[in-house]
Structure 1
Amino acid sequence: MRLRYIILLVFFVPLLAIFSISIYKGFETRKKAKIREEINRKIRVEVLNAAGVNGLARKVTWLLRKDGFDVVYYGNADEPLPKTVVVERRDSSMFHARHLARWIGCREITLEIDPDRVLDVSLVLGKDYKKLFKGIDSLKIVF
């Protein structure tokens, strides 16, 4: 009887753990999809390449659009930067910048309100872009 209990426990506990993890992953996936649909698509983004890597802004634009962001412009920055920075352009609470920074894992956020621009946030890609966009150099995108 005791052996039967141990065998049942040995099979049941891992099965319960796998089931719990898969349910959690499902909730996370649905949560991300809801955020993508409700928040990301409303944020207008400009992507600027300050890393000096040819085609980087275009690749990041593709990734952000895939995640639902409305990228309205991409191009090169005026001068190189060592670190990637997210710049809020519209809202002093920095909602858009904080959201995008959290989404991509960027810690550098700043506020530069510019009411003449038709965008909410600028993503200025610095030389540390590989930390935020792993594998982007090998990404092949045909436009």
Structure 2
Amino acid sequence: MSIGLPTLPPASPPSRTRGRGGVVALALVVIVIAGATAGWWSLRRTPASPGAVVTPRAAALEDTAARAPSGVRIRVRVINVSGITGLARRTTQHLREYGFDVVDFGSGPKERASATRIAVHTGHDAWATRVRKAMGVGEIVISPDSSRYADLTVFVGSDWRAPTETLRP
């Protein structure tokens, strides 16, 4: 009688069906990813149809026609009349990036407005045009008032979409 270590049964040869199933599954995954990529690419490249509504976009930061003129202080007041929380603060940040001096911001009356209005108080219509170009939306209205401390008042409606915020350290 000999005492020894138990032995394992001999290994069975690898199954061919298991290998084929893995290849088929991998092929299906590749086909699905390729199809999704092709669909995304075609949607991305499709031009808007003639009757489609195109949302206005803000001008690039480098666009000099959208920035406050160099050496000129344009005092802007921002009032959120959209009902969207935090939109006045986001608008303030956006306009300051374009060089406008936002001296005040806050929320307006309880009634909500869908359209953004830019009120000109000091007769500088060209400044309002620059703000409209920087925001991408806005109707310019003349509202002379020499007692105001701001040159322009922006009543931010729900038609303006703030750009996505970047992560800042």
The answer to whether TM tops 0.5 is: yes
Q: Secondary structure at the match of 2:64?
A: helix
8 Å CA contact 1:44–1:72 kept in 2: the answer is yes
Match of 2:119 in 1: 87
Assess, with a 3 A threshold, how the Cα gap between structure 1 residues 62 and 29 changes in structure 2: closer, same or farther.
closer
Match of 2:96 in 1: 65
Match of 2:64 in 1: 32
8 Å CA contact 1:57–1:76 kept in 2: the answer is yes
Q: 1:32 Cα shift? A: 3.1
8 Å CA contact 2:81–2:107 kept in 1: the answer is yes
Q: Does 1:98 pair with 2:129? A: yes
CA distance in 1, matches of 2:69, 2:120: 21
TM-score, normalization: structure 2? 0.54
Q: 1:102 Cα shift? A: 2.1
| Structure 2: stretches of 5+ with no match in the other structure | 1-59
Q: Secondary structure at the match of 2:112?
A: coil
CA distance in 2, matches of 1:29, 1:66: 7
Match of 1:53 in 2: 84
Match among 70, 73, 90 for residue 42 of structure 1: 73
Q: Percent identity?
A: 29
CA distance in 2, matches of 1:109, 1:123: 9
Assess, with a 3 A threshold, how the Cα gap between structure 1 residues 123 and 141 changes in structure 2: closer, same or farther.
farther
CA distance in 1, matches of 2:74, 2:150: 8
| Structure 1: stretches of 5+ with no match in the other structure | 1-27
8 Å CA contact 1:59–1:141 kept in 2: the answer is no
8 Å CA contact 1:84–1:128 kept in 2: the answer is yes
8 Å CA contact 1:86–1:106 kept in 2: the answer is no
Q: 1:140 Cα shift? A: 6.9
Aligned pairs, number: 108
TM-score, normalization: structure 1? 0.63
Assess, with a 3 A threshold, how the Cα gap between structure 1 residues 36 and 97 changes in structure 2: closer, same or farther.
closer
Q: CA RMSD in A?
A: 2.9
Assess, with a 3 A threshold, how the Cα gap between structure 1 residues 29 and 68 changes in structure 2: closer, same or farther.
closer
Assess, with a 3 A threshold, how the Cα gap between structure 1 residues 141 and 30 changes in structure 2: closer, same or farther.
closer
Larger Rg: 2
